Chains A and B, each alone.
Chain A
């Protein structure tokens, strides 16, 4: 019969081509706005443009310069310190909140869950400027309180405290988000596991420590990796706070900020691209190494 056969052929083609068509919009945009800039950045980085000599090919010069640039490495050190200060605290608090909410013992669970997540809805820029005011010597409430109690006003933006202050802003912004992820992971643990543990004599605390935490550990690792990637990209907070603490926060405070300043204050686009590239490479390497360490640990 001639009827069914042509239809069948049409379907087979459709089935083979369909996935590519479904992927097409995303892939095209991906190529245009993620891959192309990457390629272009590399292209930029291997040239140098000066007013005098025009544009010429310089190979790896810019990269080598970046790798030897003290400002770049100071920025990297700032990032590493930042990550070490910020991430453990955030993860610990997020886990604590998630465990408390999951234990089902507190009142107003839903209310806490939603309100603790709200900072995620606040743009980093706005969070920074709000905290900037909170920190501020002019009318920050902490300064006011200190004055009222005749205590020395805390200086949140001194050279030694500026990084923890920035870390605090990041904590405030992202703890809720981490908490929601951990909470969802905890909720996925079957309920009868808790009953089995109860029969085994474990109270809630022991159960949380010895069963819940190990079970969500893989999830925690994933979020830590993403947090590391995120913290290596620090820009908005130092950029905004630069205005109220220019001495403590230079315009090369973080590598991203440095790349930005090179491009827009100094017009050094080529070198800026190289710096961005090296930062990207460093980030990728650190994340990959971290993943390997953890994977090997979990497989052992």
Chain B
């Protein structure tokens, strides 16, 4: 079990800076997810922890021990790769046993561990098959089995579910969640899918351009995003963001709308409202007026896309089957308690 600390980690390839000064502490048994758009450095950060890449500067500590100069295997970590990276010429058993064979573990012990891992992943009947005879989901489980068998202090996952279809992805997500419950091990997981991030993580680390934007629990990040990027990255559909300017008695939003705030924060340039925090009323009765452009009815929810003056669309989520028709002019009511305020640099300002 492991506490992993990253201290002022920097990574550059030549003159290209990928990671610039990351500090992070991962507690024992935590399920931490690195999430961010492509190019954010999340995979690089994972690989730095794994030891597959060398840090340019900074330290990595596992349980207080400085492992920065150690190779991957010496750090006692296991990794599950996006493309599974199974050895094609070995059977499932051979794949799982390889690492232990390299470490010269006694055969009986190898057999015991492989059996146990296979049992927990329902792979017993496949032990003598080769990877090419397995489906995507089965291969993924073998990759996980290979990681389990080495009994590492922490598990690393590099976008393991990206290559699976939607249904399988949902199934494997639950599988991984249960794995974490069962083993209680520290897990670091990289994904660009915010649904995976929200559902699996104890702690989410949002990365952008090689820097940490915010660290916190999924709900914390959702309800109290530290900046515009995090606010718009988590949550689907994305948070609606309006231009804002101070005006007597409140804020003028989106050029035409009016927000009455008891005390308007100084420096507010943008206001955010999530689709589920906006309701629809008759024209003129809300904070802003707009025309209904597209309506998507999912049965459980209705997504309405309301066009404001300059063609920007506001996404509104309404429960059930809402009574709206395309072309109708409506008023949007923003829930004041759930408003997010941002300054010119995109940083969140405390709500009053």
Contacts and interface: CB of A to CB of B under 8 A. Distances in A.
A and B touch in the complex (CB under 8 A): yes
Interface of A: 190, 192-193, 195-202, 206, 210-211, 214-215
Nearest to A201: B73
A200 B85 contact: no
A192 B85 contact: yes
B77 interface: yes
Contacts of B72: 195, 198-199, 201
Given A201-B99, A206-B102, A196 B71 contact: no
Interface string B303-339: 0000000000000000000000000000000000000
B89 A214 contact: yes
B280 to A, nearest CB: 49
B8 interface: no
B81 A195 contact: yes
Contact of B73 (A192, A200, A210): A200
A215 B90 CA distance: 10
B177 interface: no
17 contacts: A195-B72, A195-B79, A196-B79, A196-B81, A196-B86, A198-B52, A198-B71, A198-B73, A199-B79, A200-B98, A200-B99, A200-B102, A201-B72, A202-B99, A210-B98, A211-B89, A215-B88
Interface residues of B, number: 23
Interface in B38-97: 50-52, 71-73, 77-79, 81-83, 85-89
Given A192-B85, A195-B81, A196-B87, 17 more contacts: A193-B85, A193-B87, A196-B86, A198-B72, A199-B50, A199-B72, A199-B77, A199-B78, A199-B79, A200-B146, A201-B99, A201-B102, A202-B98, A202-B99, A210-B98, A211-B87, A214-B89
Contacts of B50: 199
B150 interface: yes
A192 B102 contact: no
A195 B88 contact: no
A202 B77 contact: no
B103 interface: yes
A190 B83 CA distance: 10
* Interface SS of chain B: loop
A201 B103 contact: yes
Contacts of A197: 87, 98
A220 B102 CA distance: 25
Nearest to A191: B85
Contacts of A215: 88-89
Contacts of A190: 83, 85
A192 B71 contact: no
A214 B91 CA distance: 13
Interface in B185-215: none
A219 B47 CA distance: 32
Contacts of A210: 98
Given A200-B98, A200-B150, A192 B77 contact: no
Nearest to B82: A192
Contacts of B82: 192
A199 B149 CA distance: 12
B102 A195 contact: no
A195 B53 CA distance: 10
A202 B83 contact: no
Contacts of A200: 73, 98-99, 102, 146, 150
